Structure 1
Amino acid sequence: MAIVKPFKAIRPTKDKAFFVASRSYEEYGPEELQAVLQFNPFSFLHIINPGFKFEKHITGKERFHLVRNRYLEFLEENVFLKDKEPSFYLYQIEKGDFKSLGFFCACSVEDYRNDVIKKHEDTLHHREELFADYLYSVGFNAEPVLMTYPDNPTVDEIFQKKIQREPEYDFTTTDKVNHKLWKISYPEGIEKLQNAFNGLDALYIADGHHRSASSHLLAEQLQNENPKHTGTEPYNYFMAYLIPESQIKIYEFNRMVKDLNGLSKEEFLIRLDEHFRIEKREDGLYKPSKKHEFSMYLEGEFYLLHLRMTNYKFTDALSQLDTQILFKTILEPILNITDLRNDKRIAYGYGKHNLMQMKDRVDRGEFVVGFSLSPTTVDEIKAIANAGLTMPPKSTYIEPKLRSGLTIYEL
């Protein structure tokens, strides 16, 4: 049984939603970030980059406290208002032929603890602690965890009826993405949504493993500090954006390696032959078209690598994942890359043109060899999560990517 709870969001006023909404901080280059901070006083970036006001780079606890201050200023200046009734927030993102329709809600830390909310990635404890400290200091959660659920006719019916109404927000950002948001605050709609999710055995984290783990860590800390803890306090929940499986878009990360671990090209190809049937491609850029095939770019040529099923055994859901196959057959045994997260010899690329970018970086001499894979599927994510396993780093790049600042959950 999955718990979803409505909440009273802190939100920008309708006339300022376009100006407040920002991409993830890491997506901005230095020049673009400076321009937004200089010319858009309503951007959510001012809250998470409070040092701009003082023309100073601020980190650590001092930054956390100033983030809290900037947030309070946005409330005091009526850039943000708090909704009067608990609501679910239906949010649609549309760009070109890609459209996603999900909703913001509060999800239960207890569900996370009890594996109703399922994970497929490892987290780093120091990052969990850092973000938990951040949440403790600022007192709000503005970065929802992206989770997915099986397509549900009842949920879809509620959503389709609601989107016929005028939205609270309707704006298009400069990257040509249209954003719409509706409130679901009427008791019947809330009850129907909660009942629909009560019937689900699990929710699956798509993006936000550290955020959910940090919320769990914070809840434990605040529970221990509160002698009157009841389990209903806001810190027992965290903000999430739930979206049906059919509307998740998953892209692959390619892998680029700086050397062949002392092997010549010929020696490397011979080592590959143990696990792969190797086919040189003569038709330029080549991207694999099915599972257990890999595209390799080496010394100006593309190769198709077909996995030899006789020499590789599938033992569980993880062993069938292409990122794991590449790791276990090439990266670890041949190229001696054992730490995919921290080894400086390997880098990752994603995006619409990542195959061309991989080729260009190899051609420029930044890397010696590149590998392209097919995207991971939702079913693979679920199978690994259900088995309690974890994927290798950089196995998925998932859309939609959500704007910050449209709904805020106070702790």
Structure 2
Amino acid sequence: MNSTGPAANDGLHLLPFRGLRYDAHRVGSLAAVTSPPYDVVVRPDGLHHLESADPHNIVRLILPQAATNGARHRQAAQTLDSWLAEGVLAPDPEPALYVYEQRKGDLLQRGLIGALELSAPAEGVVLPHEDVMPHVVEDRAALMRTTTANLEPLLLTYRGNGTATGATAVMERTVLRAPLLATTTEDGFSHRLWAVTEPADIAEIADDLAHHQALIADGHHRWATYLRLREEHPEPGPWNYGLVLLVDTARYPLQVRAIHRLLNHLPVTDALSALGHHFRIRTLEEGTTLPAAMDVLASAASEGNAFLLTGGDGRFHLIDRPDPDLVARTVPADRPESWRTLDATVLHATLLDRIWNIPDTPEHIAYIHDTAAAVTQAARRGGTAVLMHPVREDVVRDLARQGVTMPRKSTSFGPKPATGLVLRSLTLD
């Protein structure tokens, strides 16, 4: 998004808040209590790993384990209350915006964490690009209601002018100071956090962001949850704000990756046989590594729709060149060409809905960000992993500007913020 979108003062309104943060003296390490966003944790392996990393790992709040949904949410609230009472989590002394930095090798990502106003203008200023699943929104809403907290920020991007002015200037001055916290997680990313509390700095940020729109890069379900909870609490108050990380991608470009599908009950042999003459099928040479197979997929995807299938047979099967007549019959014609030709569109409309007849429910389809994990779980479960090639960021932005949403879980922007470095309690606002 750019500064020519909304008029001045009709753009983004990011407010300071009193962040809840872990007391480093009461946990094993800050790295051990963090987690990826809730929907990136590969269950159950990833969940168990995080739970065992530290008894206070944030996953016990964002993905609590109990027999029923209500019990899970109550357990999260009770855990949060006990950690606050014990001083494991404590509020910062004054409201702040937070500069958050992630670094790994040559990759440097910086952004601002704050409470974003959700009043009516925000619904035209913050642009989604993916559909959401109602049951996930309901689950996240129930968790937020019960804990009275935003447990993890969603990731928003905007397009500045590429120079160190406005919000970016404040961030780049701030990082010259000692951080509130610094840690390195097991994925090799270093994380640093600073508080911005000076009124002049906060005003400079506000003046800049008021001219910008934002694209939801990660967290569509949490955004839909924020809007639902705001509707439930129409009076002015803390429910009119939601926790976000806002990144200027003109200054700090994000990476865009694919999200893969795991078809739990469809063996790969059945998936291939059902294709008939509707797709070209090429089985890669036995022993082909995952990186080499993904290179083959990238090459095929540059020429049209293409997918990699793998499962219990341990082989990679490239399927591409879908029958144009079948695609024309199955893909809705009332959308832009750039939407109708998306791999995710063809996958859902042509393959899942028509050829394989698979409902888009958690029982049948799992969405997995990690490519190797998708392959491993498909082999373990006897299902089929459908590996995807990422969508270009300019396509995502163009569709969002047109108000056209992509099929759910079409993209994965990153690096994603680590969950657990700063939380927002609505009782403190």
TM-score category by the smaller chain? 0.7 to 0.9
Residue 404 (structure 2) aligns with? 389
Cα displacement (A) at 1:158: 2.4
Question: What is the aligned counterpart of 2:414 among 369, 375, 399?
Answer: 399
Relative distance call for 1:124 and 1:76 in structure 2 (3 A) is same
SS at match of 2:298: coil
1:29-48 deviation per Cα after TM superposition (whole angstroms, max 9, x unaligned): 55775676567344334555
Relative distance call for 1:5 and 1:304 in structure 2 (3 A) is same
More divergent stretch after superposition (182-191 vs 108-117): 108-117
Residue 159 (structure 1) aligns with? 171
* Greater Cα radius of gyration, structure 1 or 2: 1
Question: What is the aligned counterpart of 1:375 among 390, 394, 400?
Answer: 390
RMSD between superposed Cα atoms in Å: 3.8
Residue 202 (structure 2) aligns with? 190
Residue 239 (structure 2) aligns with? 235
1:288-332 deviation per Cα after TM superposition (whole angstroms, max 9, x unaligned): 232625254589575573579899688444123222134445554
Contact 1:122–1:390 (8 Å) recurs in 2: yes
Cα displacement (A) at 1:182: 0.9
Note the 1:316-355 alignment, pairs <5 A: 316-328=337-349, 330-333=351-354, 335-337=355-357, 339-341=359-361, 344=364, 349-351=368-370, 353=372
Contact 1:272–1:330 (8 Å) recurs in 2: no
Contact 2:130–2:410 (8 Å) recurs in 1: no
The residue type equivalent to 2:222 in the other structure is R
Question: What is the aligned counterpart of 2:35 among 19, 22, 34?
Answer: 22
Note the 1:168-207 alignment, pairs <5 A: 168-200=180-212, 202-207=213-218
Task: Provide the aligned length of Structure 1 versus Structure 2.
Answer: 387
SS at match of 1:271: coil
Contact 1:101–1:247 (8 Å) recurs in 2: no
Relative distance call for 1:105 and 1:272 in structure 2 (3 A) is same
The residue type equivalent to 1:22 in the other structure is S
1:28-77 deviation per Cα after TM superposition (whole angstroms, max 9, x unaligned): 655775676567344334555777xxxxx454444434433332332232
Q: Unmatched 5+ residue regions in structure 2?
A: 1-10
Relative distance call for 1:116 and 1:251 in structure 2 (3 A) is same
Question: What is the aligned counterpart of 1:209 among 193, 210, 220?
Answer: 220
Relative distance call for 1:352 and 1:99 in structure 2 (3 A) is farther
Cα displacement (A) at 1:141: 1.1
Note the 1:161-310 alignment, pairs <5 A: 161-200=173-212, 202-223=213-234, 229=235, 231=236, 233-245=237-249, 246-255=252-261, 258=266, 268=275, 270-272=277-279, 284=288, 285=293, 286-289=296-299, 290=302, 292-296=304-308, 302-303=317-318, 305-306=320-321
Contact 1:105–1:240 (8 Å) recurs in 2: yes
Cα displacement (A) at 1:347: 5.8
Residue 150 (structure 2) aligns with? 141
Cα displacement (A) at 1:240: 0.6
Relative distance call for 1:259 and 1:9 in structure 2 (3 A) is closer
Residue 19 (structure 2) aligns with? 9
Residue 8 (structure 2) aligns with? none
Relative distance call for 1:260 and 1:67 in structure 2 (3 A) is closer
- Which TM-score applies when normalising by structure 2? 0.75
Cα displacement (A) at 1:2: 1.6
Contact 2:278–2:322 (8 Å) recurs in 1: no
* Alpha-carbon distance in structure 2 between the residues aligned to 1:168 and 1:325: 46
Residue 79 (structure 1) aligns with? 88
Contact 2:257–2:390 (8 Å) recurs in 1: yes
Cα displacement (A) at 1:247: 3.0
Contact 1:288–1:304 (8 Å) recurs in 2: no
* Alpha-carbon distance in structure 2 between the residues aligned to 1:164 and 1:19: 26
Residue 133 (structure 2) aligns with? 124
Relative distance call for 1:111 and 1:183 in structure 2 (3 A) is farther
